[in-house]
């Protein structure tokens, strides 16, 4: 895939078909990875608590494609897609889900605590909004040292109801640090719908930015090109010293909150309709007018990568129990 | 040797660390122009400027959390939480984030963050401005916890905390800020995890922290008049704990009193008692006595506040109880 420097031309309004095809491949890789995670969990191979990002692939790919290697991010409990999109090999993530030392967190983190400092992943966080203040601090460090880097926090609409969210955006804007707050708005706080947990209509959550005087950029979170261009604009704004950005992306979670969630709270017809009309892969596939042969070729390629990731993970090394004490202190 | 107040000793460690390393910076509420609500950071803004001496909004979660984020990027932030009661507002970031990043990342991340805070009774602020909460943090793997009681210790330990690669919660005691003490002419770092024997004795060991170190030294002098020889040990670092020095002292004296201002129940003295009974069981001649505050939120009226928190008299009574056991 082209680097952000190769893709990023300030002010550009369109993305080339070649880049969109790269995006498609990565989004399909995330989709097949997540489907495999669901399958292996149901087969009893994966311990712990898993949250997949099926339906939200365009957010991960669009945002992370607009970032440079040295930019950093903090993710959420739904972190597999972000991690793949920022450049951690799928096999290292899968190995982490299997609890192997070859995993991206050495088997210490698991699905909800994926880290990879080599690509700027400062950690997925299992406390809603838990990663936001740290991103303010990372951006502060960049600002103090005069480094041209941005720090990015992913979080959902549910997180905007926490005190941590408000403290973090307030401080970031006060100090004009180069941070991007990516509001991945899927309209669900676990099982609680927007209407029961958001004080504004779900599509208007970007208004939160006004409370801080913060720059707001919004895009359709199912349209990867729109997400990418919005994220590029957010990065330009932050790097220009104009302060942080709230990047509001309306997206759709096309599965349960966690793997195994029976979604008793969800209207079946609505979900079916969302799967038909809001699937970012279908939308991009139609846009690219992919032939069946093209699709099958990409699919075979990413499916093989996912299968190889599972093989790698299963062949991985189990940590020694007593290694639990190895990293308590530096 | 020059003499500094405890307050000046903290300030000196901060200033020297700021001079020595441009990655060190300080942030907190009212710490810049005002110089901190305890006047500890006075003068730092003038010398180091507003980029490194940063006033913050009243946002304890964001203060600690942004300190964590900057620390992971290689800075050495020192954040001040005005009263340790307000640590409760940053608990999520301290306990779930600062303490756990290193393990959760499989050793990829370091968090060289110092969180300075202060508390302590004796000035009738009521229940929300004088608690002693150090025991809460000793329970959290990944944190280090320091509680210094003298000017020399506070300077040398703060330096070590700032240059430690782990998150360190650094407790200061409000009523100790004006006390004076000799300090080495050059700052001498004191390693974290080393106790200090303030006074040697043969009959009973008092393991005390914070203000109670001074109360225990007074109690020891009183006891001496009765012919009781008291050893006073200050762990100084509560996590990691210098178990060897403490257990060794009790094996020598065969009796022990723990003393802190925090509530006795579930307090740090309980952990000390467990460590000591295990390490010195065959040596002990009396049950370990725990001295701490009575089990009540701190009341406002001075008469009640004074009664709730311990002083030299309570330590002395406990010393006498232990030696009364044959």
What is the per-residue pLDDT for A14? 85
B230 and B90 share a domain?
A: no
The predicted-structure confidence for A159-218, as pLDDT tens digits, reads as follows: 999 999 999 999 999 999 999 999 999 999 999 999 999 999 999 999 999 999 999 999
**In-domain check, residue A209:** yes
User: Which of B157, B182, B207 marks a domain boundary?
Assistant: B182
**In-domain check, residue B8:** yes
**In-domain check, residue B32:** yes
CA distance to partner chain B, nearest, from residue A106 (Å):
5
**In-domain check, residue A154:** yes
User: Which of B114, B147, B182 marks a domain boundary?
Assistant: B182
Question: Is B201 within 8 Å of B220 (Cβ atoms)?
Answer: yes
Q: Do B65 and A168 touch (CB under 8 A)?
A: yes
B19 and B41 share a domain?
A: yes
B71 and B169 share a domain?
A: yes
**In-domain check, residue A271:** yes
The predicted-structure confidence for B85-124, as pLDDT tens digits, reads as follows: 999 999 999 999 999 999 999 999 999 999 999 999 999 9
Domain that holds residue A70: 10-316
Q: What total of structural domains would you count in chain A?
A: 1
Of A155, A30, A29, A36, give the one whose Cα is nearest residue A97. Answer: A36
The predicted-structure confidence for B21-37, as pLDDT tens digits, reads as follows: 999 999 999 999 999 99
Phi, psi of A287 (to 5 degrees): -60, -40
B218 and B93 share a domain?
A: no
The predicted-structure confidence for A137-150, as pLDDT tens digits, reads as follows: 999 999 999 999 99
Q: Do B105 and A117 touch (CB under 8 A)?
A: yes
Mean of pLDDT values over A265-280: 95
**In-domain check, residue B114:** yes
Asked if A286 reaches chain B (Cβ–Cβ under 8 Å), the answer is: no
pLDDT tier at A5, thresholds 50, 70, 90: low
**In-domain check, residue B17:** yes
Six token digits for residue A155: 């979080």
B152 and B245 share a domain?
A: no
DSSP B180: E
Instruction: Report the C-alpha gap between A250 and A186 in whole angstroms.
Output: 6
CA distance to partner chain B, nearest, from residue A205 (Å):
22
What is the per-residue pLDDT for A10? 53
Q: Do A135 and B69 touch (CB under 8 A)?
A: yes
**In-domain check, residue A157:** yes
Asked if A211 reaches chain B (Cβ–Cβ under 8 Å), the answer is: no
Six token digits for residue B2: 């020059």
Which chain A residue has the Cα nearest residue B51?
A144
CA distance to partner chain B, nearest, from residue A138 (Å):
5
In the predicted structure, residue A3 carries a pLDDT above the cut 70: no
Give B243-300 as a 3 state SS string. HHHHHHHHHHHCCEEEEEEEECCCCHHHHHHHHHHHHCCCCCCCCCEEEEECCCCCCC
Domain that holds residue B108: 3-182
What is the per-residue pLDDT for B112? 98
- ipTM (interface predicted TM): 0.96
Residues of B with CB below 8 A from A327's CB?
A: 102-103, 105-107
CATH number of the domain enclosing B78: 3.40.50.970
Q: What total of structural domains would you count in chain B?
A: 2
B230 and B91 share a domain?
A: no
pLDDT tier at B1, thresholds 50, 70, 90: confident
Mean of pLDDT values over B269-273: 98
Mutate one of B28, B50, B61 to test the A interface: name it (highest A CB count within 10 A). B61
Q: Do B107 and A326 touch (CB under 8 A)?
A: yes
Q: What's the mean per-residue pLDDT of chain A?
A: 95
Which chain B residue has the Cα nearest residue A139?
B70
Active-site positions of B?
60, 129
Residues of A with CB below 8 A from B62's CB?
A: 133, 136, 164, 167-168, 170-171
What is the per-residue pLDDT for A134? 98
């Amino acid at each position: 895939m082209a680097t952000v420097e190769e893709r990023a031309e300030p002010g550009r309004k369109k993305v080339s078909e070649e880049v969109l095809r790269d995006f498609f491949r990565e989004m399909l890789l995330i989709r097949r990875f997540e489907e495999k995670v669901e399958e292996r969990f149901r087969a009893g191979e994966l311990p712990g608590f898993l949250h997949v990002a099926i339906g939200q692939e365009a957010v991960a790919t669009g945002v992370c494609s607009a970032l440079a290697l040295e930019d950093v991010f903090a993710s959420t409990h739904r972190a597999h897609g972000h991690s793949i999109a920022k450049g951690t090999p799928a096999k290292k993530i899968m190995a982490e889900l299997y609890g192997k030392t070859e995993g991206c967190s050495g088997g210490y983190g698991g699905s909800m605590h994926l880290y990879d400092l080599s690509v700027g992943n400062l950690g997925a966080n299992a406390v809603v909004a838990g990663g936001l203040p740290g991103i303010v601090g990372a951006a502060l460090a960049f600002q103090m040292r005069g480094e041209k880097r941005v720090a990015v926090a992913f979080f959902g609409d549910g997180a905007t109801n926490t005190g941590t969210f408000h403290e973090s955006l307030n401080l970031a804007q006060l100090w004009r640090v180069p941070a991007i707050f990516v509001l991945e708005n899927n309209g669900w706080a676990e099982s609680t719908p927007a209407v029961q947990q958001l004080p504004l209509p779900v599509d208007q959550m970007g208004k939160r930015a006004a409370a801080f005087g913060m720059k707001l950029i919004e895009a359709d979170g199912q349209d990867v090109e729109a997400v990418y261009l919005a994220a590029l604009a957010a990065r330009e704004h932050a790097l220009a010293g104009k302060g942080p950005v709230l990047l509001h992306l309306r997206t759709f979670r096309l599965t349960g909150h966690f793997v195994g969630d029976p979604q008793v709270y969800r209207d079946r017809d609505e979900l079916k309709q969302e799967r038909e009309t809001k699937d970012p892969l279908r939308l991009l596939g139609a846009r690219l007018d992919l032939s069946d042969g093209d699709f099958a070729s990409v699919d075979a390629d990413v499916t093989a990568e996912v299968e190889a990731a599972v093989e790698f993970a299963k062949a991985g090394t189990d940590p020694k129990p007593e290694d639990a004490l190895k990293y308590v202190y530096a | 040797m020059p003499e500094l107040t405890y307050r000046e000793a903290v300030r000196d460690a901060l200033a020297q660390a700021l001079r020595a390393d441009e990655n060190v910076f300080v942030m907190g509420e009212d710490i810049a122009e005002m110089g901190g609500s305890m006047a500890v950071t006075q003068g730092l803004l003038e010398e180091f400027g507003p980029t490194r001496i940063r006033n913050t909004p009243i946002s304890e979660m964001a203060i600690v959390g942004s300190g964590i984020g900057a620390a992971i990027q290689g800075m050495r932030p020192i954040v001040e939480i005005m009263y340790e009661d307000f640590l409760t507002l940053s608990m999520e970031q301290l306990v779930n984030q600062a303490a756990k990043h290193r393990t959760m990342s499989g050793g990829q991340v370091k968090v060289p963050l110092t969180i300075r805070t202060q508390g302590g009774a004796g000035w009738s602020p009521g229940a929300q401005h004088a608690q002693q909460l150090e025991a809460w943090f000793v329970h959290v793997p990944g944190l280090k916890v320091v509680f210094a009681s003298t000017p020399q210790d506070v300077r040398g330990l703060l330096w070590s905390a700032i240059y430690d690669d782990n998150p360190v919660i650094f407790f200061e005691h409000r009523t100790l800020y004006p006390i004076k003490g000799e300090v080495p002419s050059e700052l001498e770092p004191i390693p974290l995890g080393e106790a200090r024997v303030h006074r040697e004795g043969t009959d009973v060991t008092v393991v005390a922290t914070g203000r109670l170190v001074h109360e225990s030294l007074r109690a020891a002098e009183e006891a001496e008049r009765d012919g009781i020889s008291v050893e006073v040990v200050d762990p100084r670092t509560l996590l990691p704990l210098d178990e060897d020095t403490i257990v060794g002292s009790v094996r020598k004296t065969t009796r022990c009193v723990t003393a802190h201002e925090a509530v006795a129940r579930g307090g740090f003295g309980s952990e000390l008692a467990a460590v000591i009974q295990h390490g010195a069981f065959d040596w002990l001649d009396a049950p370990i006595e725990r001295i701490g505050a009575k089990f009540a939120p701190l009341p406002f009226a001075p008469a009640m506040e004074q009664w709730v928190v311990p002083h030299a008299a309570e330590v002395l009574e406990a010393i006498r109880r232990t030696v009364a056991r044959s």
